[in-house]
Structure 1
Amino acid sequence: MCGRVIVDYDENMDVASGTELSAWMQQRPEGYEATWNLKPTQDLPIALTDHKTGERQLRYAYWSLVPIWSKELKTKFPTFNARSETVTEKASFKNPVKGRRCVIPVSGFYEWTGPKGKRTPHAIFGPAPVIPMAGLYSWWHEPGAGDDEGWHLTATILTRASAGVMADLHDRMPVFMSDELLHDWLDPKTEGDRLLVDAVSEAAVPISGQLREWPVAPLRGDGPELIEPA
């Protein structure tokens, strides 16, 4: 489960230096604003490779993948997360798996523990300033709009069974993207299949053991104070 994320990129964009992701993160995405409480259906930064030009892009997408056949942007069922175990079978996700894969570079995220009504949020961060998460994207077109207008880029974050630090917080965690597999994942010429998804999912386990977390106050509003230990 991943339903709230933090996006606070370094001013000089050296957050991913020395990694495969650095090629995509040469600058902040257009319209960038730092946020410490980004929710599904808001705009989420994603890294992708353009199908036609091969250009590496870092841009914003609507956080909830909308399949091309949907008649409206809002889906009936939540699609801000996609289970890695079934993503190659589900109608909404199986086509994006083949060649519309992306990485969501966040600074951190939240998970909740405790009984209903008294749940405690935990801020979670990785060993580096950016945590790359495996994702999928889709272009949704407004019915009735012209060919050159009404297009919306939408995306979802893959999840898997929890491991490492996440095991004590929730039974699901994001699929953290390993540097070794990032190039293949972002290459649209690499056809996505069950083997690729499983490899990316398994590579997330060692990363989960390097996470840092601490409880924070209930999330209200938006600002850096949200990640201060409670």
Structure 2
Amino acid sequence: MCGRFALTMTPSEIVATFLGIAETGAFPPRYNIAPTQPVLMALAGPPRAPGSNLPDRQGLLVRWGLIPSWTRDVRVLPPLFNARSETAAEKASFRAAMRHRRGLIPASGFYEWKRQAGDPKKSQAYWVRPKNGGLIAFAGLMETYSEPGGSEIDTGAILTTAANPEFAAIHHRMPVIIAPEHFSRWLDCRTQEPRDVADLVQPAESGFFEAIPVSSLVNKVANAGPEIQEKVTHDKDGPPAAPDQLQLF
């Protein structure tokens, strides 16, 4: 799964990586992004006229936690901040977004918690980032929800897949990462159906990420500085408990 992540690059670095994305404006570094918070997502832009210089991608902020358009009462909705890639094309909650609104969520890395053997209530937090640095792109889905009062809210989820053998030692699921050379194909919902991009929703190759043990500071959303990514050899407070994701909503 993916319950927390970070995006610490500057807007110019994001634009340089996500070629053609619309200008994002001010977007300060964020070290502890949690569900229900706004996240940046890149989507395919409107069709371009021949000779047009308009970007073929657009950026927008969405609420992390997808709300299906048919939802009647959000108070009873389970947290949909992740979507299983194996079933997203068939599930009623994600089917329309998987076909029509696939997106890319830029990130510097993400956090995961490894349960401690013999004590399932304890876990060790890890900061997981690309070994070679730089930005990564989570495969995302976007849905616009119309509230009863008439206002609209853009919402999104991160697709996950089975962990590769290396990461499985920490958790059995991991976010789907889309490589830059596949950005356009993933975002193309006009000519590429879910079955046409199924080959892109694969676990990251072993060796792509490095997992750095960090302290229990990351468990609290209020802790949002770079210190939460500092490597620890032993948390003085003992192995941290994994955050209760349901309480984030």
TM-score, normalised relative to structure 1: 0.86
**Structure ID, larger Rg:** 2
Which residue is 1:65 aligned to?
A: 66
Residue 182 and residue 189 in structure 1: after superposition, are their counterparts in 2 closer, same or farther (change >3 A)?
Answer: same
How far apart are the structure 2 equivalents of 1:91 and 1:46? Answer: 22
Is residue 24 of structure 2 the alignment partner of residue 22 of structure 1?
no
Which residue is 2:4 aligned to?
A: 4
Residue 187 and residue 74 in structure 1: after superposition, are their counterparts in 2 closer, same or farther (change >3 A)?
Answer: farther
Which residue is 1:201 aligned to?
A: 201
Is residue 124 of structure 2 the alignment partner of residue 120 of structure 1?
yes
| Structure 1 residue 30, shift from structure 2 partner | 4.2
Which residue is 1:170 aligned to?
A: 171
Asked whether the equivalents of residues 165 and 212 of structure 1 are also in contact (C-alpha less than 8 Å), the reply is no
In structure 1, give the amino acid aligned to 2:72. K
% identical equivalent positions: 33
Q: Deviations over 1:18-75 (max 9, x none)?
A: x5x2222x64x34523211111111111111235777522221000111111134556
Is residue 141 of structure 2 the alignment partner of residue 136 of structure 1?
yes
Secondary structure of 1:190's counterpart equals: coil
Asked whether the equivalents of residues 10 and 28 of structure 2 are also in contact (C-alpha less than 8 Å), the reply is no
How far apart are the structure 2 equivalents of 1:87 and 1:154? Answer: 16
Residue 103 and residue 173 in structure 1: after superposition, are their counterparts in 2 closer, same or farther (change >3 A)?
Answer: same
How far apart are the structure 1 equivalents of 2:4 and 2:75? Answer: 18
5+ residue gaps, structure 1: none
How far apart are the structure 2 equivalents of 1:229 and 1:85? Answer: 33
Is residue 45 of structure 2 the alignment partner of residue 50 of structure 1?
yes
Deviation above 3 Å: which 4+ runs of structure 1? 50-55, 72-75
Residue 52 and residue 179 in structure 1: after superposition, are their counterparts in 2 closer, same or farther (change >3 A)?
Answer: closer
How far apart are the structure 2 equivalents of 1:223 and 1:102? Answer: 27
Q: Which moved more, 1:102-111 or 1:29-38?
A: 29-38
| Structure 1 residue 186, shift from structure 2 partner | 1.0
In structure 2, give the amino acid aligned to 1:141. S
Which residue is 1:227 aligned to?
A: 229
How far apart are the structure 2 equivalents of 1:50 and 1:16? Answer: 15
Secondary structure of 1:32's counterpart equals: coil
Which residue is 1:151 aligned to?
A: 152
| Structure 1 residue 184, shift from structure 2 partner | 1.2
Paired residues, what number? 218
- Tell me how large the CA RMSD over aligned residues is: 2.2
Secondary structure of 1:98's counterpart equals: helix
| Structure 1 residue 205, shift from structure 2 partner | 3.1
How far apart are the structure 1 equivalents of 2:228 and 2:87? Answer: 34
In structure 2, give the amino acid aligned to 1:39. A
